[in-house]
Amino acid sequence: MIGAAAIDGPAHFVHLAGARARLGFPSPADDFMDEAVDLHRLLVRNPAATFLYRADGWSMLGVGISDGDILVVDRSVQPQPGDLVIAIWDGNQPTCKVLQLFEHHLKLHSANPEFPPIVLEQGTEVEVFAVVGVARQIQRRRGHVRAR
């Protein structure tokens, strides 16, 4: 775990393009800046309940989370089935998975077929927190750009 988000940290604004980034063919007319955004204010809605975790491993690659990404976790958000969560049980390290609830157990699903789901039977003491955002770093490796 990286730690709690600063409650009243200084604002660090980053320019936000006036146009959305299309996933298809880009328009040359969309080349202008619109406003500045403080990423802390964008990603952290409840600073007192927000913690940052660094992702470790590749089990969530199918939902776009890579090793080294930063997970923004808000402990005040009530997790729902299908949510991306951080779960902690039986002294295990915090684990990022997709939550599925059943009458007598819960399942924590990976987003990579190489990793089987984790089944926690009723009576297991488990804490589950909602992941509300992901921040990633981009690195160049061997001429390719990839999320890190």
Angle in degrees, CA 66, 51, 35, rounded to 5: 75
The reply to whether 97 belongs to the active site is yes
- Is the full-model pTM beyond 0.85? no
Sign of CA dihedral 48, 49, 50, 52: positive
**Catalytic site residue 107?**
no
Say which of 59, 66, 76, 110 is annotated catalytic: 59
At 91 the pLDDT is 86
pLDDT band at 79 (very low <50, low <70, confident <90, very high): very high
Q: Residues 55-77: pLDDT tens digits?
A: 999 999 999 898 888 889 999 99
pLDDT tens, residue by residue, 37-56: 777 777 888 888 888 888 99
d(CA 99, CA 118): 10
- Rounded Cα gap, residues 59 and 102, in angstroms: 22
